[in-house]
Homo-oligomer: A and B are copies of this chain.
Amino acid sequence: MIKDNNSIGIVVPQKFVLGNEGEDALMLDCGKKLRPVTIEYETYGKLNKHKTNAILIIHALTGNAHVAGYHSENDKKPGWWNDMVGPGKAFDTDKYFIVCSNSIGGCSGSTGPRSINPETQERYNLTFPVITIADMVRAQYRLMQHLNINKWLAIAGGSMGGMQALQWTIDYPDCAASIIAIATTASLSPQAIAFDWVGREAIMSDPNWDNGNYEDKIPEKGLATARMLAHITYLSDKSMDMKFGRRLGKLSNYNYDFSKNFQVESYLEYQGQCFVERFDANCYLYITRAMDYFDLTAKNNGNLETTLSVAKASFLVISFSSDWLFSPKDSKKIVSGLRYNNTDVAYCNIQSSYGHDAFLLETETLTSLISDFLKCRYKSVKMEMDCVW
């Protein structure tokens, strides 16, 4: 039974298919076409008459379309940003119509490497084209058209979701009144590329991976290792000190072997195991590669000012002081690029010890920032509407 009073309640996932016979396929950055493409999405709240209250929330690397609420009465866990999306919450479902879709390349309902290729009737696996952040956005744009929305009131996302939000503003500058970019970057750093590389090496070295063609035996160990590594980058040195320190787990002394001994080791092992049950190894390869390839400035020789000159939205950029994966420095670059172009931008670096994970944990501070920002944006969009209608 759901005991969450402020919950949006039961949500039913929906599917949209693009690129069926007679429709345009999805054009990809790599030059290939993909069709048909299923996009799993969820919506919360109601779209108003003038369609001015639609907000797109975009998930991070291993997230999915299920941002809030429950899938059934017996569902044990709500969506991944349940504290942020619901009646009276930051993304207030009494006011706004919220949409969240699973990114293509993923494994939570949208077309990805584990989907069946209709041409072969077998899984794509490594024949799936390598996709980019811009490709993910291109698919979301098709979903937007399908939903008959002309302009998002806001596009919001943390981490990889923030990258996509930024990409929207470059590729479809007229399609969003505002952008909320949280704990993100305008281009992946070599350090992050390096971590991704090592994670993928762990997966691809697992004999069960079988060049991506695993079926019964999945590359559990490789995927768990990749996840454990990534997990370290989501926490801060300080949060690990506070959460685990050098405390031992169940043992009262060193075990003098290589099995888990420290609490932090048990935690990582647990995180690795949980992840293997909910995420797919090939998808992990594809989505990390999409992040590696993310460089908003690529077409402008690395010049962020020029790149952002096309942006028309109002921005709220948020970073977290202890985030070392997508650090405050990365956010400040985005803010500088926007200010250079006299683009409306509010920036907040939230003091937090949670590291990159803070975007999922500092919901109270995020709520006050985001709900105010959205109220202003909504008011201003309504005023524009009053003039037009």
B256 in contact with A30 (CB, 8 Å): yes
A195 within 8 A of B: yes
Per the bound structure, the CA–CA distance linking A285 and B257 in Å amounts to: 10
Q: Give A26 Cβ to nearest chain B Cβ, in Å.
A: 15
A205 in contact with B204 (CB, 8 Å): no
Q: Which of B194, B200, B265 contacts A240 (CB 8 A)?
A: B194
- With most chain B CB atoms within 10 A of its CB, the pick from A129, A198, A254 is A198
| Mask of A203-239 contacts with B, CB within 8 angstroms, 1/0 | 0111100000000000001101100110010010100
Per the bound structure, the CA–CA distance linking A207 and B206 in Å amounts to: 8
A172 within 8 A of B: no
| Stretch touching chain B among A114-122, A136-144, A185-193 | A185-193
B206 in contact with A268 (CB, 8 Å): no
Which partner residue on chain B sits nearest A221 by CB separation?
A: B205
Which partner residue on chain B sits nearest A207 by CB separation?
A: B207
Number of copies: 2
Q: Give A185 Cβ to nearest chain B Cβ, in Å.
A: 11
B229 in contact with A190 (CB, 8 Å): no
B268 in contact with A197 (CB, 8 Å): yes
| Stretch touching chain B among A16-24, A55-63, A101-109, A241-249 | A241-249
Q: Give A195 Cβ to nearest chain B Cβ, in Å.
A: 6
Q: What are the residues of chain B within 8 A of A232 when measuring CB–CB? A: 191, 194-195, 198
Q: Which of B263, B295, B324 contacts A246 (CB 8 A)?
A: B295
Per the bound structure, the CA–CA distance linking A324 and B238 in Å amounts to: 12
Per the bound structure, the CA–CA distance linking A327 and B324 in Å amounts to: 14
Interface hits, A258-275 → B, CB 8 Å: 258, 260-265, 268
Q: What are the residues of chain B within 8 A of A190 when measuring CB–CB? A: 240-241, 243-246, 262-264
Per the bound structure, the CA–CA distance linking A245 and B289 in Å amounts to: 16
Which partner residue on chain B sits nearest A129 by CB separation?
A: B256
Q: A191-B232, A193-B264 are in contact. List 9 more A-B contacts (CB 8 A).
A: A30-B254, A130-B258, A190-B240, A190-B263, A191-B240, A194-B268, A197-B264, A225-B225, A237-B324
A188 in contact with B246 (CB, 8 Å): yes
Q: What are the residues of chain B within 8 A of A292 when measuring CB–CB? A: 261-262
A347 within 8 A of B: no
